[in-house]
Amino acid sequence: MTLSVPHGGSLVINSVDSQERDSLQRELKKAPSVTLDPREISDLILLSEGGLSPLDGFMDEAAWTSVVERMRLPNGLLFPLPVVLPVAEELAKTFKKGDLVALKDENGKILAALNVSDVFRRDVQKEAREVYRTTDSAHPGVHYLLSVSPFAVGGKVRVVENLSGGVFSNRRMTPTETRNLFNHHSWSTVVGFQTRNPIHRAHEYIQKCALELVDGLLVHPLVGETKEDDVPASVRMDCYEALLSRYYPSNRVVLGVFPGSMRYAGPREALFHALIRKNYGCTHFIVGRDHAGVGSYYGPFEAHDLLKEFDYDDLGIVPIFFDTAYYCRSCEAMASHKTCGHPEDSRILLSGTQVRKMLREGMAPPPEMTRPEVAKILINHYSKVATPVS
């Protein structure tokens, strides 16, 4: 096996070279502009470096409709989540096909050019039903969807600013860079692991099980926008660094950061995460229990069921499915129901709510669940969160 072929056949990198940048920036200073929110900037970063290949920009109405209704781009290529650029109705009405638009951050800095190919109104209720399978505004993905304009502008983007900096720049790698690194290590098979949470012992167990099957592991935590009560990315990164430096083989594991934002779209987002890691060069992808889920909106193995609907020709990456892992006192080891036949009372398995309660109270979860180094970092974080501001 060799490293995966990028989704659609090749990496689509939507950034300009230095020669084009100067002239394009001069044009953009005179162009109308759209200010991007954090999620849209995350999408732009991925577009700039090929993470969202084969997309060359924000979707037009035909692509949006096709993706929402059948999880495929108009050309039939699998793509489960819409990537659109909402704009205020008043602004949308001023745009027409062929217009050049400047995309800016909240400080007014020009990040990219967008060549308008379409302006359309989304049916957000339809998008909520199809993508999130709920119209409940308590769902964080639906809440965001309902908070932005239903009008959207589609078109090719050309990024003029280097977007690879930021807090985690030392761990930021583009798909080109991860592929080069995997080749440098002579890895022909790599398994990717997506996470928005600190890695606990169950994660460690399934990662190491998967690592027995392949040459290398890409631990690829999401550091874009997440919901308010998720552990901040900086704290999670401290946990990953501590864990990987002590308990993993350094010559077989790469820690990078994924600049995307969470949609909390459950099964569809699990498929999205797999296809994106294919762009980064991964040949395999771990799909765990309730992957990309939130609350009780999705069943624990609906993501497994969705990915099993597609063959390798469609996916281009091999999903590795894992059940809930736990520590078994009788086995004296991490296990799952596939490897352990002991009764439930022999298992150490706490819910996320229980673990967070313990951490807030300054109590370390059992070491069978959370490595002491990780628990210490999390207790420190929760102690600060719990401290009232005077």
* Residues with active-site annotation: 196-197
The CB-based long-range contact list for 303-308 (8 Å cut-off, 24+ gap) reads 303/266, 303/267, 303/270, 303/271, 305/267, 306/267, 306/268, 306/270, 306/271, 307/267, 307/270, 307/271, 307/274
Distances (CA, A) of 309 to 93, 132, 191, 254: 41, 18, 20, 30
CA distance 281 to 274: 11
Q: Which residues pair with 115 in a beta bridge?
A: 100, 156
CA distance 241 to 57: 34
Tokens of residue 164, six digits: 């690879």
CA distance 279 to 7: 6
Residue 301 · residue 289 · CB < 8 Å: yes
Tokens of residue 238, six digits: 């401290």
Strands 110-121, 100-104: pairing is antiparallel
CA distance 217 to 256: 11
CA distance 323 to 10: 33
Q: What are phi and psi of 291, to 5 degrees?
A: -60, 125
